[in-house]
Amino acid sequence: MDWQTIRAEYPNCWVVIEALDAYTSGTQRIVENLEVIGVFGSDFVPAWEHYKSITDGVREFYVVHTARPELNIGIMDSFHRIPSEK
């Protein structure tokens, strides 16, 4: 399923989605195929709790609100250069 289909099917609510087909382009994660894992209405907290309970470090999950016109998932660089001590 693509993001626009999810937005149409689940308008104006928090969803937990899984990226089934995704790749990185520059600083963005491009997700071409998604699966809805849970739908949580207007309350973020249950969506976040569900996300935390299923995250395993292998599968790619996101908590997003369907009011977002685009996913726009940015990549954060987790490797920071540490200045050497003198």
- Alpha-carbon distance of 5 to 78, in angstroms, equals 32
Q: For 49-68, what is each residue's pLDDT tens digit?
A: 999 999 998 999 999 999 99
Which uninterrupted H or E stretch holds 50?
helix 44-54
Closest C-alpha to 40, from 30, 21, 22, 53: 53
- The residue written with tokens 């907290």 in the block is 45
Judge whether 71 and 3 are in contact, CB under 8 Å. Answer: yes
pTM comes to 0.84
75 band by pLDDT with thresholds 50, 70 and 90? confident
3-class SS of residue 4:
helix
